[in-house]
Amino acid sequence: MTFYSPVITNATEVAKSERLHLFRYVEDPNQRSIDTFISRGGYESWKKVVTSMKADEVIAEVKGAGLRGRGGAGFPTGMKWSFVPKDSPKPRYLVCNADESEPGTCKDRVIMERDPHAMIEGMAIAAFAIGSHLMFVYIRGEFNESIRTVEAAMREAYAKGFLGKNVLGSGYDLDMVVHTGGGAYICGEETALLNSLEGEKGLSRIRPPFPAVEGLYACPTIVNNVETLSAVPHIIKHGAAWFKSMGTEKSPGSKIFSLSGHVKRPGNYEVELGFNLKKLIYDPAYGGGMLGDKKLKGVIPGGASTPLLTPDMIDVSLDFESLQSVGSMLGSGAVIVFHEDTCIVWVILKLIQFFRHESCGKCTPCRDGTGWLEQTIRKIERGEGKPGDIEKIEDICGNILGRTICPLGDAAVMPIQSAVKHWRDEWLHHIEHKQCLVKTNFEFK
């Protein structure tokens, strides 16, 4: 028995055009089958690429589209692909990062469970573009439904000749492996993911060398997110100009936003980049406003690692640059909303507890710092905070930020820094009065 996620898309806009392409068919359970997928134009892009295009042409198209990574960092995808050395005699690998684990983020799972061939087709095109003959999808071990669906889809793709030896008579060989993780958030970081894929502990690697030059088994490797790769077949099909006609100049295309927390209609929504955050939360077609019509207190705009926004900051475009301009980040597009009955110290405690648990332990500032932060924040939340604790938190944060190999340290710190900055009075009240300004006590229905 599985209760499926309510995938909500704006049906009227979808019906009008192909602009919203990632979620166009996810509400149809038949979309998982390869026949349905093909009947809707699926694998046409892969066929075109493998039978009539050169790798450089594929990279140029994706570069031209301006597609940026949807996993959090927002790095230009085509440019990343072009970093793979052309003259390397080593095998190259394409890895799809499906280790979705950041609190608030639940979008890749929808693609894998509802439209797995979109991801496989994107992976195949990316593999071809970098000259790879073996590609991996690293799926977090908890996503059993995703694993089952992707494995079934992969078998279908082999059976139809989209994968395997001599793909569609093109002479190109391409194999795929579904690799399952062990429930470590750090493995979403690309170098830790590669270590994990090699059978090691998921510890981050020092860069350079970057994976594009020296990645899996010390060979050139490209790691891309599920959502990023799923957009690629549409770019090949409709062209770079079509993709650029969506979104903003520097953040083109559409993006899936996972909306969770205190909204009336939580769900995954595909919208063009540049969509208004306030509209996403309040519009009846999307979030539908706050639960119980309570007052909004705060928003985490891009997943647990991004700086928080106060209600006066949410009239902002959801794109990489606009969120940066208000001191936050687009991240993975996970919008977490909480209302007035939520204690900010409690929110931050939940977040730091996550990062402390998930720190791989390689870098001292992150390993010890996150533990120290959790301890201090837990004390404050319990009413055992002391004057000077806020300054101590700020000091620890400053000693983690930018001092670790991978961004997990920064991710742990940035929400805390923003929460201390925006809600300092509430932290002070907590320490002074030994209790929450608003007591958090959420009951489930």
Partner 1 sequence: MILTKESVAQIKEKVALYPKRKSAILPAITIAYHQVGHLNDELYKEIADVIKVPFVEVAEAATFYTLFVKQPRGKHLIQVCHNISCALMGSDSLTGYLEQKLGIAKGGTTKDNLFTLITVECLGSCATAPMMQINEDFYENLTREKVDKIIEELRAKG
When the beta carbons of 83 and 442 are compared against partner 1, the nearer one is 442
Residues sharing a CB contact under 8 Å with residue 13, sequence separation 6 or more, in sequence order: 19, 20
Q: Are strands 254-261 and 334-339 parallel, antiparallel or unpaired?
A: parallel
| Residue 5, burial from CB neighbour count under 10 angstroms (0-12, 13-18, 19+) | middle
Q: Which residues pair with 268 in a beta bridge?
A: 258
| Residue 378, burial from CB neighbour count under 10 angstroms (0-12, 13-18, 19+) | middle
Taking the complex as a whole, the smallest distance from the CB of residue 176 to partner 1 amounts, in Å, to: 9
Taking the complex as a whole, the smallest distance from the CB of residue 300 to partner 1 amounts, in Å, to: 8
Helix, coil or strand: residue 390 = helix
Taking the complex as a whole, the smallest distance from the CB of residue 81 to partner 1 amounts, in Å, to: 21
When the beta carbons of 125 and 259 are compared against partner 1, the nearer one is 259
Distance of CA 269 to the CA centre of its chain: 14
Residues at the contact surface with partner 1, assessed by CB under 8 A: 1-6, 91, 100-106, 108-109, 134, 140-145, 177, 179-185, 196-202, 217, 258-262, 266-268, 300, 304, 334, 336, 338, 342, 347, 350-351, 353-354, 357-358, 360, 441-445
When the beta carbons of 44 and 283 are compared against partner 1, the nearer one is 283
| Residue 215, burial from CB neighbour count under 10 angstroms (0-12, 13-18, 19+) | buried
User: And the tokens for 431?
Assistant: 């320490």
Return the beta strands (E) in 301-437 as ranges: 317-318, 334-339
When the beta carbons of 34 and 348 are compared against partner 1, the nearer one is 348
Taking the complex as a whole, the smallest distance from the CB of residue 80 to partner 1 amounts, in Å, to: 22
Distance of CA 144 to the CA centre of its chain: 19
Taking the complex as a whole, the smallest distance from the CB of residue 255 to partner 1 amounts, in Å, to: 15
Give, for 312, the enclosing helix (H) or strand (E): none
When the beta carbons of 158 and 242 are compared against partner 1, the nearer one is 158
User: And the tokens for 81?
Assistant: 């692909």
When the beta carbons of 75 and 442 are compared against partner 1, the nearer one is 442
When the beta carbons of 76 and 91 are compared against partner 1, the nearer one is 91
Taking the complex as a whole, the smallest distance from the CB of residue 299 to partner 1 amounts, in Å, to: 12
Taking the complex as a whole, the smallest distance from the CB of residue 61 to partner 1 amounts, in Å, to: 30
